[in-house]
Amino acid sequence: MKITDIDILPVNRYLFVQVHTDEGLTGLGESGAWGFLDASREAVETFKSYLIGQDPLRIEHHWQYMYRCWHFRGAAIMGAISAIDVALWDIAGKYYGTPVYNLLGGKVRDKARVYYHVGGRTTEEMIENLVAAKNQGFTAAGHLSPFLDQPRTEPLSETYAQRIGHAIERVGAYREAVGYDVDLCLELHRQLKPTEAIAFAKGIEKYLPYFIEDPTTPDNLDSTELIAKHINVPIATGERLNSPEEFAQLIRKDAAAYIRPCVCTCGGITGTKKISAIAEAYGVKVVPHNPLSPVSTAACLQIAASIPNFAILEYPGDDQPALSEKFGSTGVEKGVRKKDMVKETFGCQDGYMELPVKPGIGIELVDRVAEKYPYSRRPLLTRLHEDGSVVDH
């Protein structure tokens, strides 16, 4: 079997890749390079020149070839490798007539626990949506910001005491609203400096959050290590890391109780399996980063099914639009739902998602998807402080 062509499909806010073979099998993958999908698309074009004519079942060899071919990587390139890798695993599953997780050692669980995305621009709206998630049967809620979903167009103007104090009070209100029936996965979005994160974490410890995600920027792993050493709240991080080596450094520092590899940015299923194995050896659990399309969800479920140290999966909701529209970061029309782009999605009940049963990753795009849902580049928008300086958001 040989690879005959690779289609690159920019769709809505996503970038899909389809790998075709001379035996009629087609594999589907997705890049998670987020705001730099155009750069990732060009990286796929470069890898395409190598892949056409190759045996698609030599997945590890192709991963090594693409990963080590040059001296430069980064999110756009790793997004391209990830999309191709997921598509190759999709082909392998279809070739052998089985879900990908059976090629990774088989299932270690029968369903995958998820946390549902909850947002809101006010405390009242956030609580209302949190209670609604509980009523839908979810036992964990994430993307749950103690700082609310404030638009990037709104300058940051709070005092330190206001910002940290109000955030702590909100977490208490979240816990009071749902009791102990829902785990709180608190999204900090890299907004805090280490000392701020330490103060915040100590203030919310009594509310027993499942974890705080990305308390500070990931550029200096020592900062996350410093926070972890001074708090008793678990840290989840890693969505902006994109290589096994970076995750290994994070894990060796005991800087995170949960790691968040993005299957669509850290090397696909192959890369995520490598990272998960490193984490397993250190007693660290895996919470796959999954804010993208149902194609990403399908790939994440292969990991969730097959690794023993899986904890919980991010689930943004298939009936929701892209996150940039869902939480109002842009003015783009909100009418396109994630599930509109695929033929079918996976059931979710009582806080658990069913595992794929079809060969491959178990999902297919709708016909003429790129025509139906034209690609729209994410605009560049960064939040500023009231004094005009850039802030992390």
Which positions are annotated as active-site residues? 189, 289
b/e for 330-360, b at 16 or more Cβ within 10 A? bebeeebbbbbbbeebbebeebbbebbeebb
> Considering only CA atoms, which of 115, 108, 83 is closest in space to residue 263?
83
Structure tokens at 119: 């947002």
Cα 295–Cα 298–Cα 302 angle in degrees, nearest 5 = 145
Structure tokens at 92: 């392998």
Helix 75-96 / helix 294-306 crossing angle, nearest 10 deg: 70
Burial degree of 202 (CB within 10 A; 0-12, 13-18, 19+): middle
Integer Cα distance of 280 and 185 in angstroms? 21
> Which amino acid makes up residue 371?
E
Alpha-helix runs per DSSP H in 179-230:
194-204, 221-230
Integer Cα distance of 365 and 342 in angstroms? 4
Long-range CB contacts (< 8 A, 24+ apart) of 159-162? 160/196
